[in-house]
Each structure stands twice: as structure tokens, then as C-alpha cells.
Amino acid sequence: MSNFVSAAELKDLLSSGSPVRVIDVRWSLDRPDGCGEYLSGHVPGAVFVPLHTELATHGEAADGRHPLPSTEELQNAARRWGVNHGDIVIAYDDSKGLGAARAWWLLRQAGVDVRVLDGGIRAWKAAGFEIATDDVVPVPGDAVLEEIGADAISIDEAAAFPESGILLDARAPERYRGETEPYDPAAGHIPGALNVPMAAYLDADGKILDTDTLQQTFAGVGVTPGIPVAAYCGSGVTAAHTALVADEVGIPLKVYPGSWSQWSNTPGRPVATGDQPG
């Protein structure tokens, strides 16, 4: 079964009476709270999910910008969204799947049947489906989540990963090369990492590319059956999108959630620059 649903498939699910909970995870680095956009128009029945408080926690700079929430915190959030045992959760956003992928990555680990709306709210609007502007506050759900964290690696594991597998850097090429760094204290990448930005997986409308193209993209950096692979980005959000895409084509991939925001804030960690792994 695909990790993605089309706008038409979501419409059918909602019309069928299936136990579906839709969550709106609009988020970006320069606009961490997308609630205003949610209120301006969302899928009917969708609950707004603030990524920075419910799909992440906060601590010291050396923890990274988006450390993982505890399983209890995630469970409390899912219940606030109205998620019950056995529900199908459909996540979407308006930023090519970034926020939705973070929700998918966490909830999938927690044993939830979760999928992503391919193309997000833009695909829903393009299909001509109804838009709502209310602030949905559902009856709290009763979901019981499994322990999360098994699909994550630590900073030390990330450092050692290129010795036995492939570590992907999902950031923009100029950040990987160290030519610019708008958010973190050092520019460059983790030594040994290979750069495959998230744009490599999407078409012009922000929808996922076909399976053959995706498999070729991964194979082009040496990701083949049996090779361990992990990904990081700036703060663990875009890397979750890499995990989503990889899983769609049958590639198990772990995420380093601390990502560059943790690495660059940890004294003594080496930094590579240029277009080679280093």
C-alpha cells in the first residue's frame, strides 16, 4: 500500500464514512506557525497541528531545533487531534510535504495507519473540492501509541554512519557545500555525507515522482539493497521526507533528527565543505 493518497482518494475516504482523521501540518522555517493559513482554507474536518510544539520538543541548542517529542507527548497530541484506535490519519501541508512527512515519520513508528496527501492542500484545491475555514476542535481520541525512536540515530551514530552505510544530506546544495548557512552557526556538511536535496524526489507541483525515477535517484548515490542508509537535514524535518520517499520505494531509511542544527552546535564536530563528501 502506498504512503500517499491523491486528493480524489482522500475525498472518497471522507465520503465513505471510514474512520479518517485529517491533520493540517503547515510549517516552514520562516513561518513555523501555519495556523493563519489553515484558518484561511483547509480540508473540511482537518485539525491544525503545530509542528514546532506537537511534533517536536525544545531544549538546548545542542539538542537541535526540533528534538523528538516523547511518546507520551505525541500520544497526548494525537488524542487532541481526535485520533482513535484504528483510525486512518491523513497528513498534509502546503510546502511539498515537509510538515506532513514529519507527522508520517513519527506516527508510523508509533503504529498508526498514516498517509500523506500527495501535493498537499494545493492538490485538494486544484481538484475543486470544498474548502473550510473553521477551527476544528474534535472530541479527544483514545489512541494508544507504540514507543517511538527506533527509526532515529544519534549524533555519534551519524558520525560513524558513512563507514558502514550511506548518509544522505537532504538540504539545498549550497548549504551542503557550505556556501551559505542562514540558520546554524557553521556552514558545510557532516564528513562522508552525500547530498540529495528533497527537490530530487518531486515534480513541479510538489507531487512525488514515479517509482523508477526515485529508485534511479537513490541508486545514483549508491543506495542499493542491503546497504544501510540514513538521512539528515537542517533540523530533522526534511530528512523525514527523505524517509517517506525511500519507504515508498521499499528502502528502509533511518533519520538523524538532531541533524545539522545539533551537529553545528556541538563543539568538536568536524565540518566538511565543497561538493564532495569529504
Local structure of 92: helix, strand or coil:
strand
Pairing of strands 113-117, 4-5: parallel
Q: Is 233 a catalytic residue?
A: yes
SS3 230: strand
Q: Residues 5, 166, 233, 245: which is the catalytic one?
A: 233
List the catalytic residues.
233
